[in-house]
């Protein structure tokens, strides 16, 4: 009986870890040559996006309701998106530098 309980607990623990690891993930956008690369990404709710600046110029990631502030060369900015929608963003230092983030709703597997 004790072995059966232990087996059930182990299965529950592994299942919980699997759900946590699938719960968001991460995406990266580079800021290089006055562009966001890729310029458009699609993610699901709960995903963390990191904008990395390997460029020699400073940049920002600015949208309605949020702003990275100035991201100096070699630095990055991260944000987790919990609400579905389309987010148009830009660099306030370089107005032609624009990007789009599409956040889709998570679908239940049950």
Over residues 60-106, the pLDDT tens digits come to 999 999 999 999 999 999 999 999 999 999 999 999 999 999 999 98
Q: What does the CA dihedral 109, 25, 28, 36 come to, rounded to 10 degrees?
A: 30
| Residue with more model confidence, 108 or 25 | 25
Euclidean distance between CA atoms 19 and 37, whole angstroms: 29
Over residues 11-68, the pLDDT tens digits come to 333 333 333 333 458 999 999 999 999 999 999 999 999 999 999 999 999 999 999 9
Task: Looking at the structure, give the CATH architecture of the domain made up of residues 25-104.
Answer: Sandwich (2.60)
Q: Is the peptide bond before 38 cis (omega within 30 degrees of 0)?
A: yes
Instruction: Give the model's pLDDT for residue 22.
Output: 38
Per-domain residue ranges of the chain: 25-104
């Amino acid at each position: 009986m004790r072995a059966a309980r232990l087996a059930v607990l182990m299965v529950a623990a592994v299942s919980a870890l699997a759900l946590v690891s699938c719960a968001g993930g991460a995406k990266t956008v580079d800021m290089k040559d006055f562009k966001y690369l890729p310029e458009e990404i699609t993610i699901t709710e709960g995903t963390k996006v990191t904008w990395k600046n390997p460029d020699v110029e400073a940049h920002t990631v600015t949208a309605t309701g949020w702003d990275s502030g100035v991201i100096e060369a070699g630095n990055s900015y991260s944000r987790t998106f919990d609400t579905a929608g389309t987010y148009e963003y830009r660099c306030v230092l370089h107005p032609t530098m624009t990007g789009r983030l599409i956040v889709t709703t998570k679908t239940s597997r049950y």
